[in-house]
Amino acid sequence: MHEEIAIGGFGGQGVLFLGRLLTEAAFREEREVVYMPSYGAEKRGGTVWCNVTISDERIGALFIARPTIAVAMNSASLTRFEQTTRSGGVLVVNQSLVPETVAREDISIVYIPANDLAAELGDSGGSNLVALGALLACRAVVSVSRINKIMEDMLTKNPERLEINKRSLNRGYSWTQQNTQAARQV
């Protein structure tokens, strides 16, 4: 397998955390993996980006020009990913914050109201995990149980937070399975 995943959103939306979770999961599944964050001033305001490349082969470029999977948590990142997502790829759009739609026939697009779904679960900061659930429903780049296990390891002292996180992840996953064509294609 070889997947190039690009994630973009506002600082505070948990974009980098989402990328780190995917990276850790791929690492535990003994794949080659590279995580490349944007860094510096944009951390405190504008749009944050990160790339995760997961492969069975030695990985070349640190940066992804044309992702096979993209997650747009805000409009600015959609503007980029709308152009760059590779033909045959997956684009997850956070419909709660992104009113725009994408006119492309050659990619699978999931419009998921990530903030609203997270809020319904009482997890206002969980939109990133809802989006991750959507991503995994479309492409099983790592297993859901692996992500859950990582969160268990991270949150041993905070079982409440762990439960909320798991619910958000599962909500994104099941919502995508129930509501979109993209998920059924897998």
Q: Given candidates 6, 7, 24, 97, which one binds another protein under the rule CB under 8 A?
A: 24
Among 37, 76, 86, 179, binds another protein (CB under 8 A): 37
Q: How many CB atoms lie within 10 A of CB 83?
A: 10
Decide: 85 and 92 in contact? Cβ < 8 Å. no
**Toward another protein, which CB reaches closer, 82 or 123?**
82
Q: Which two tokens stand for residue 14?
A: 């948990």
Strand intervals (E) in 38-103: 47-55, 69-72, 90-94
Taking the complex as a whole, the smallest distance from the CB of residue 121 to another protein amounts, in Å, to 29
What does residue 8 show for φ and ψ, rounded to 5 degrees? -140, 150
- The SS3 assignment for 117 reads helix
Work out whether 13 is an interface residue with another protein (CB under 8 A): no
35 contacts another protein (rule: CB under 8 A): yes
- Give residue 154's Cα distance to chain centre: 19
Closest CB 89 distance from another protein, rounded Å: 16
Between residues 33 and 131, which has the closer beta carbon with respect to another protein?
33
Of residues 88 and 99, the one with the C-beta less far from another protein? 88
**Does residue 65 touch another protein according to CB under 8 A?**
yes
Residues 107-136 that bind another protein (CB under 8 A): none
Nearer to another protein, 5 or 182 (CB): 5
The answer to whether 61 touches 78, Cβ cutoff 8 Å, is no
Q: Does 11 bind another protein (CB under 8 A)?
A: no
Residue 81's alpha-carbon distances to 87, 104, 152, 177, in angstroms, are: 12, 11, 32, 22
22: left (phi over 0), alpha (psi -120 to 50) or beta: alpha
23 in contact with another protein (CB under 8 A): yes
149 binds another protein (CB under 8 A): no
The residues binding another protein (CB under 8 A) are 20, 23-24, 27, 32-37, 39-41, 58-63, 65-66
